[in-house]
Amino acid sequence: MNYITVVAASFEEAVFKAQQQYGSGIRVLSRKDITEKGFMGLGSKTKCELTCFLVNSESEEPEKKEPEPVKRNKPQPVTHEIDENLMRRFEREAMTPDPDGRLGGVVVEPEPVSESLPDDDVSDDAFPSIPTLNITLGSASASYSEKPSSLYENRYENKPDVVEQKKTQRVDELAEKAENILRLNDFSEKYVKWFLGEIRQQLEASLPDAPSNGEFEYIVLNKIVSSVSTDNSDRVNPPNLFALLGSAGSGKTTTIAKIAALYSQGEHPRKVRIVSIAQGQSNRDLTVRTGKAMSLAVSCLSEENEAYSAFRVGDGNDLIFIDTDAVHISSSLYEFRTFNLLNCCDKSNLKYFMTVPATMKSSDIEKVFEIFNAYHISGIIVTMSDMTTTMGNIISLCHEKKLPVIFIADGRRIPKDIHGASSSLLFGGLKGFSIDLSRALDR
């Protein structure tokens, strides 16, 4: 038995097509509706597939007739007039193969179709079997609002912008470089946190033109230098009453002798006097010996009535340097006696300065400042700078307390080993830079 498959837009057209091609001996064995999907789910079409066989010849291949060409001057609607009873019979045969229990059935003899089409104008209903696809902008937008296909999802969804990622990566690299420099020089955690916030903001503002490594080192150095001031006014024009505070072992007594000797010598020497209110006998003896060696007037006080006359300016004294009691880090309160004696001074001419060893840890410096909280400190004098290669702790302190550096001492010689604060002395020893710091600081 020879089986033939015919596909058309509808059941009626499929029956007509089968009879046209294979003649009147064709019979319907089964019917299947096929839905063809359009692009992206749009414009789907439904077709009818018929499986047929020939009742006249079971062994021979059916001779397929080639439909004769149809003259198409103008497209016209094609209609197939098939008897209603015969159509129902074909539908029944399509659902149940050979419903009559025999090979055969009613042969559908369609009426012949004219080979030529009329020359009338084509009407709007010329092709009723072709579906019309109407898509508005709103419906199209709605259909694409769902999750995209895996191809588009893999390429675009949740993927960061490559340019922005490179910018962020460059900022992170430079910020890490700056952090390494700061930690190499013992800067405090507070300073590191502040510095990285500032430098990141500066770098992000300069993008996409990120600096080179050499240029970035100049930026870091300039940021560190600008975070601390070196006060020249109190050094050039010191106050009449110059009180020095400091912790035990900070070199306070030696430093005050250096400063006093510095002002008593030179092209324009000043009349200088040292007043010690320290209680320790060893400190008093050291002050007296140093004063005599430098030909400086020295007084040691223990009572308030002595303080009023000793702190009086104008009795042959231009500058009075006051050496105070040293404070211990373990103490929680500075000696009330020292505070009481200093109240005897003319406070309009009095300023407090603090000696800080360059070797002291940031946490210990913080404790000393808590003890001296009652005093308004005007500046910092760095001591023992020759005993360390880093001064990040001092720079961190000055930045946090908003205090300038007045002097920097680097030895025990009087008065040679004390210098006015400068950028080269304070920042010249910074480590981790590949650029020439001496040239950079002289700019």
Q: Which two tokens stand for residue 250?
A: 């900070």
Strand partners, 379: 353
Average pLDDT over residues 256-272: 84
Look at residue 157 and tell me whether its pLDDT is greater than 70.
no
**Lowest pLDDT segment from 201-205, 267-271, 359-363, 435-439:** 267-271
Full-model pTM = 0.58
- Nearest by Cα to 290 from 191, 197, 418, 151: 418
DSSP-based three-state secondary structure for 203:
helix
* pLDDT tens profile 79-134: 555 556 666 666 665 555 544 444 444 444 444 544 444 444 444 554 445 444 44
How far apart (Å, rounded) are the C-alpha atoms in residues 106 and 101?
A: 13
In 286-417, DSSP assigns E strands to 297-300, 319-323, 350-357, 377-383, 405-409
Average pLDDT over residues 56-77: 53
pLDDT > 70 in the chain, percent? 68
Strand partners, 230: 405
How far apart (Å, rounded) are the C-alpha atoms in residues 428 and 96?
A: 103
Contact between 44 and 163 (Cβ < 8 Å): no
* pLDDT tens profile 304-329: 667 766 777 665 568 889 888 777 77
**What pLDDT is stored for residue 330 in this prediction?**
67
How far apart (Å, rounded) are the C-alpha atoms in residues 335 and 25?
A: 128
Look at residue 443 and tell me whether its pLDDT is greater than 60.
yes
